[in-house]
Amino acid sequence: MAQKITKREQDYSQWYLDVVKEAQLAEHSPVRGCMVIKPTGMALWENMQQGLDTMFKETGHQNAYFPLFIPKSFLSKEAQHVEGFAKECAVVTHSRLKAVDGGVEVDPDSKLEEELIVRPTSETIIWDTYRNWIQSYRDLPILINQWANVVRWEMRTRLFLRTMEFLWQEGHTAHATKEEAVAETEQMLEVYRTFAEEYMAMPVITGAKTESERFAGAEETYCIEALMQDGKALQAGTSHFLGQNFAKAFDVKFQDSDGEHKLVWATSWGVSTRLIGGLIMTHSDDQGLVIPPKLAPVQVVIVPIYRDDEQRATVLEYGQSIFDELKEAGVRVKLDDRDNYKPGFKFAEHEARGIPLRIAIGPRDVEKGNVELARRDTLNKTFESRDGIADLVQELLVTIQNDLFEKAKNLREEMTSHVDTYEDFKKVLEEKGGFIYAHWDGTPETEELIKQETKATIRCIPFGDSEEGKCMVTGKPSKKKVLFAKAY
């Protein structure tokens, strides 16, 4: 069998690129660092959007849309924010081209009075807008989400994991009190955790970022961190408590019920198409993509097998009846009746594309009233009765969803270590990788030192249990272990 996908142990990066390609999720575009998301990849993203959007709405948020362009001056209003994003902004300086012997060039006469920045994130334009929307405590809270594209001029890119333009959602909320804003930040992190675990079947650790890893302009950044199969961590989503920084920068105040004028409290939170990269690296194998049923654009594919036109007609009729029954049951099902590919080719193709369940039917099955059922996650094949197939499929889809989560969780546990000394830390990092819990003295200096020497970063200060100890590097007191890993 021709193997089109590089084995993971041979070259993990190449494996990742091969999976993306063979699953037909995306491809490189003519534009450096930008990708073309193909229909299959977009369908996957749309399912993710739908899941998240529903959860946003259930927690009281509404969608809105703000401009792609941000006046340059807006970026200068929040000092830390500028510092964080200034080095990676696309800038629009002119408004037109002119034809010059066969080609075009930028028309120097069209230079803009004020340059426009292509949004790297929308806090500035949104807070500039909120100033006009907020006068009274009765105008609060504002709970808005935006689905958009943003641009960050990255040095190096990888499909889905880091592209110059990417799709995401960004929530931007405004609150009257600090407590309410903090609660919102926590709530949205929990939404992300739930989505990652229940939809993507991707277990995550929740926690707070250290000061140096914090979002530019945030008082506190919470995150979900996932562990990929190669032992590297992926920051999968962030929720920021922005304090009153943006309210100050954009002069957003409200008159409270006590008559006082006060600054508004803010949060922002986002996840991006990077989640697709995380999904791929959490579940997929050497045969290609594996997608959890809840997010799979196609959950079941029916592959008919036949020798001649007569058999084809019989088998297709049988397949169509199964298709109808599954569709009726609400399963996303596809009947692959293409006549120009052999079954073996189709099997391999559907596996590469990660379709959770495959039903193969041939003349023998029609005769016996059977189907051959193959699970993508385990690659196990069984023969089942055609009767009651819809119930069985629905049960199996749930089972697969759960099994994928358990499998990913077990792998993460295996790849998670606790160390007490810096020597052990380096050793584990070298030999095993993965998540490493260790004590840290809480200083940026020590964090930086560890990063320089080992390339591992503090992924987060996990929520939950605390266990006092001593910093593995300096021996100074530490309140709890923090989570280290090499990251994407």
Partner RNA sequence: CGGGGAGUGGCGCAGUCCGGUAGCGCAUUCGCUUUGGGAGCGAAGGGUCGCAGGUUCAAAUCCUGUCUCCCCGACCA
142-151 and 165-175 beta bridge pairing: antiparallel
Q: Which is nearer to RNA, 134 or 322 (CB)?
A: 322
Q: Which is nearer to RNA, 2 or 99 (CB)?
A: 2
Q: Which two tokens stand for residue 158?
A: 């990888």
> What DSSP character marks residue 197?
I
* Dist. CA 447–CA 440, nearest whole Å: 8
Q: Which is nearer to RNA, 53 or 154 (CB)?
A: 154
Q: What are phi and psi of 455, to 5 degrees?
A: 70, 5
Q: Which stretch binds RNA (CB under 7 A): 54-62, 68-76, 106-114, 272-280?
A: 272-280
Q: Is position 381 an interface residue for RNA (rule: CB under 7 A)?
A: yes
Among 123, 365, 377, 447, contact with RNA (rule: CB under 7 A) = 365
Closest to 188 in 3D by CA, of 279, 127, 268, 122: 268
What's the chain's Rg over C-alpha atoms?
26
Q: Is position 218 an interface residue for RNA (rule: CB under 7 A)?
A: no
The DSSP line for 403-438 is HHHHHHHHHHHHTEEE-SSHHHHHHHHHHT-SEEEE
Q: Which is nearer to RNA, 216 or 249 (CB)?
A: 216
Q: Which is nearer to RNA, 44 or 176 (CB)?
A: 44
300-304 and 357-361 beta bridge pairing: parallel
Among 8, 33, 123, 127, contact with RNA (rule: CB under 7 A) = 33
Q: Please give the sequence-ordered ranges of beta strands (E in DSSP) within 189-342, or none if there are none.
A: 205-208, 220-227, 233-243, 253-255, 261-263, 265-272, 300-304, 333-335
Cβ-based neighbour number of residue 239 at 10 Å:
28
Q: Which stretch binds RNA (CB under 7 A): 25-33, 47-55, 57-65, 107-115?
A: 25-33
Q: Is position 261 an interface residue for RNA (rule: CB under 7 A)?
A: no
From first CA to last CA, the distance across the chain in angstroms is 33
Q: Which is nearer to RNA, 145 or 157 (CB)?
A: 157
Q: Which stretch binds RNA (CB under 7 A): 292-300, 301-309, 463-471, 472-480?
A: 301-309
Q: Is position 45 an interface residue for RNA (rule: CB under 7 A)?
A: no
Among 31, 91, 104, 313, contact with RNA (rule: CB under 7 A) = 31
Cβ-based neighbour number of residue 76 at 10 Å:
13
Query: Looking only at residues 321 through 340 of this chain, which bind RNA when binding is defined by CB under 7 A?
Result: 339-340
Q: Which is nearer to RNA, 176 or 233 (CB)?
A: 233
Q: Residue numbers of the site for RNA (CB under 7 A)?
A: 1-5, 13, 17, 22, 28, 30-33, 84, 87-88, 152, 154-158, 161-164, 166, 213, 215-216, 235, 238, 272-274, 287, 305-308, 312, 339-345, 347-349, 351-352, 360-365, 372, 374, 379, 381, 455, 487-488
